[in-house]
Amino acid sequence: MVSLKKLDKRDNYIILADNFYNEKNKEKALKFYLKAMEFDVNEEKSIELLFKISLLYDELGYKKEAINSYEKIIELDKKQAGAYYGIAIILDDLNEKEKALKYYYKTLDIDCEYDRAYFYIANIYDEKGDKQRAIKNYKKVIELTPNDYMAHNNLGAIYEEIGEYHKAYKMIEKSIELNPTYYKALFNMGVIEKHLGNFKNAIKYYDKSIRENNKYPYTYLNKSVIYIEDKLLYDAIKILTEGIKNNPNAGFLYYNRGCCYAKLNNEKKAINDLEEAIKIYPKFVDIIKKDKDLKKLLNNNKLNQILKYSK
């Protein structure tokens, strides 16, 4: 039997840990949760504490310890779906996708309505290129959680990839309805509108996406492409310059601006941008050599020196 004094001490450690966690002092919170575990506690309380410890280990980057902590939960109760899910999330973060899938499916074996498990299963299949399985699992997420704007967006993005633009439009439209400020859905609607030939609408959605998140470089890239295709090179340069200002490490923005300058016969600015692009992403060396838009620049001595010594 555990004495009342010991229970009080254990509960005090838990209170201290909770307070430290609320104060963002995660190391101290972990220390006191572990202290609380030193006392004999019932199974239910142990599982509750172990979940807190597991999450803290994960948040602090102690992945192996987090997995071990989740496994202790499973030893106490094999029906704890959240423990299998916790392990799956960590394995997913560690890029061990096949192992992660195994644990996501174990989560669903226990709780077939665990919507986040379906969500991340869909993500993995999407990354693997298995679009049909990804679609199936995103649909399941939406069935379970109809207001999941990210699932609608991700499903729409897959439909866009496989060329089913009207289905894509419907999903992205719903995502925006659920969350009008979600920059990725606004971006994806821009992509779809361009595919449908609605260039003004595409630019409108790219502008909305930029207003919500100006640190997403692909929006500037896609918007600039519309201008480039219309031969509005100065407008393209303007948007690429804005993109570079907000995303200075996006090499492809420098590359595309360099291509615009090359088309305008401004060799100096073109070469400066291409040099910057190569510094960020050295593989641009091979791309430059094959790019028809840059064919004339390959006679430039400075560019040749850059290409030669950037290997």
Contact (Cβ atoms closer than 8 angstroms) between residue 84 and residue 107:
yes
May I ask the CATH class of domain 231-311?
Answer: mainly alpha
pLDDT in tens, 110-137: 999 999 999 999 999 999 999 999 999 9
**0.85 exceeded by pTM:** yes
pLDDT in tens, 162-183: 999 999 999 999 999 999 999 9
Q: Give the span between the Cα atoms of 257 and 269, in whole angstroms.
A: 9
pLDDT in tens, 186-228: 999 999 999 999 999 999 999 999 999 999 999 999 999 999 9
Percent of the chain whose predicted confidence (pLDDT) is above 70 = 97
Task: Examine the pLDDT at 27 and tell me if it is beyond 60.
Answer: yes
